[in-house]
């Protein structure tokens, strides 16, 4: 009998791509999402790609009664927890909204999983926990810096909650995946990143500017201590990122984890500047973007990219998709959404 994975926040950007890859790997998947930052198009896209009527439960993970019903309705073997608010600026303006949603939902999930004997949890963490590392690239042993936003703080807190809960349990296993900068869309163009309102991430802003939805792209700063003066990041294709979750789940279910709590960086190991990303998008899609250089944005770190050695050697996972292909897929997705 195939194993069942609960994907909280599975209607969202990374959750929908992960659901596709889990299904391709032979897992049964249940999606739980309150659709606060997504809509049913993500679920419908997943169903179209997989050809399967994947179960969807509309619920908030803070709702303990709904959570317990979900665990009693389905025989769940593992959970991947994506459900969280993720806008850095909003978290600064509304910290309690973020602490309540991001931390309390995870506590509720862990309590419910324990009650129902579900012992395998993958947590969606972030490279924001590193801040501006003193040494690059960042390894899993790179010290975490004090978070620069409540959003980043919730990621650190949830990592600690998972670590401590695993330590206090005889059987619970947990893996925290620290993503760098997920970009792109599924090659089918049936799912991709569709932020509500003004995008917080660079690539949706690029594609929306190319599509004429946004008038101009702002590049924040060209005076950093980097080769072209713009910030350096590690941009990981969302399909590659999704596959990392499949290997993490398989690692726990197959009993191959070396520790009961593990952390892995999920990135490409390559630093790409903001301007390089913009120029590559223009080149591979044969178009010109309207962009301008503006002042630095508060809270932006200058450079961060991953050392992915541990994920490659332990998980047997490696980023495979090229930046060119990723940016082509991002544009194909945007064109389909806009009817271009």
Q: Name the nearest CA neighbour of 189 among 292, 298, 74, 337.
A: 337
pLDDT for position 299: 77
Task: Tell me the pLDDT tens digit for each residue of 298-309.
Answer: 878 899 999 999
Residues 310-327 have a mean pLDDT of 98
pTM over 0.95? The answer is yes
Cis before 33? omega within 30: no
* Residue 87 pLDDT > 90: no
Task: Tell me the pLDDT tens digit for each residue of 324-336.
Answer: 999 999 999 999 9
Place of tokens 């509309």: 58
| Residue of 151, 179, 224, 261 with catalytic role | 151
- Mode of pairing for the β-strands spanning 272-273 and 232-233: antiparallel
pLDDT for position 196: 82
CA separation for the pair 153, 161 (Å, rounded): 12
Q: Is 74 a catalytic residue?
A: no
Task: Tell me the pLDDT tens digit for each residue of 22-61.
Answer: 999 999 999 999 999 999 999 999 999 999 999 999 999 9
CA separation for the pair 328, 297 (Å, rounded): 27
End-to-end, the C-alpha distance of the chain in Å comes to: 43
Q: Name the nearest CA neighbour of 230 among 278, 165, 177, 275.
A: 275
Q: How many residues does the chain have?
A: 340
pLDDT for position 1: 81
**Alpha carbon of residue 62 to chain centroid:** 20
- Around Cβ 35, how many Cβ atoms within 10 Å? 15
| pLDDT classification of 88: cutoffs 50, 70, 90 | confident
pLDDT for position 193: 96
Task: Tell me the pLDDT tens digit for each residue of 180-219.
Answer: 999 999 999 999 998 888 888 999 999 999 999 999 999 9
Residues 280-296 have a mean pLDDT of 97
Cβ-based neighbours of 99, under 8 Å, separated by 6 or more: 150, 154
Task: Tell me the pLDDT tens digit for each residue of 258-281.
Answer: 999 999 999 999 999 999 999 999
CA separation for the pair 37, 39 (Å, rounded): 7
């Amino acid at each position: 009998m195939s194993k069942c994975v609960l994907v909280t926040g599975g209607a969202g950007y990374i959750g929908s791509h992960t659901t596709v890859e889990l299904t391709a790997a032979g897992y049964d998947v249940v999606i739980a999402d309150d659709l606060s930052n997504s809509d049913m198009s993500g679920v419908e896209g997943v169903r179209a790609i997989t050809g399967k009527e994947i179960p969807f439960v509309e619920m908030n993970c803070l709702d303990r009664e709904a959570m317990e019903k979900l665990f009693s309705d389905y025989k769940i073997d593992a959970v991947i927890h994506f459900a969280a608010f993720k806008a850095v600026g909003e978290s600064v303006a509304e910290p309690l909204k973020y602490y309540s949603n991001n931390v309390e939902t995870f506590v509720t999930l862990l309590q419910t999983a324990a009650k129902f004997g579900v012992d395998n949890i993958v947590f969606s963490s972030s490279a924001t926990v590193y801040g501006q590392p003193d040494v690059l690239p960042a390894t899993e042993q790179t010290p975490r810096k004090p978070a620069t936003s409540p959003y980043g703080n919730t990621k650190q807190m949830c990592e600690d909650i998972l670590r401590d809960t695993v330590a206090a349990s005889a059987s619970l296993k947990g893996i925290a995946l620290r993503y760098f900068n997920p970009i792109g869309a599924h090659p089918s163009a049936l799912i991709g990143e569709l932020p509500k309102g003004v995008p917080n991430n660079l690539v949706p802003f690029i594609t929306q500017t190319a599509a004429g939805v946004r008038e101009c792209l702002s590049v924040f700063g060209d005076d950093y201590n980097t080769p072209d003066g713009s910030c350096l990041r590690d941009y990981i294709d969302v399909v590659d990122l999704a596959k990392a979750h499949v290997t993490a789940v398989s690692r726990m279910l197959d009993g191959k984890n070396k520790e009961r709590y593990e952390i892995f960086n999920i990135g490409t190991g390559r630093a790409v500047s903001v301007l390089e990303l913009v120029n590559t998008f223009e080149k591979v899609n044969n178009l010109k973007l309207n962009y301008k250089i503006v002042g630095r944005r508060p809270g932006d770190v200058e450079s961060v990219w991953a050392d992915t050695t541990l994920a490659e050697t332990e998980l047997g996972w490696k980023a495979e998709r090229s930046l060119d292909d990723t940016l082509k897929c991002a544009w194909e997705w945007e064109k389909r959404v806009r009817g271009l």
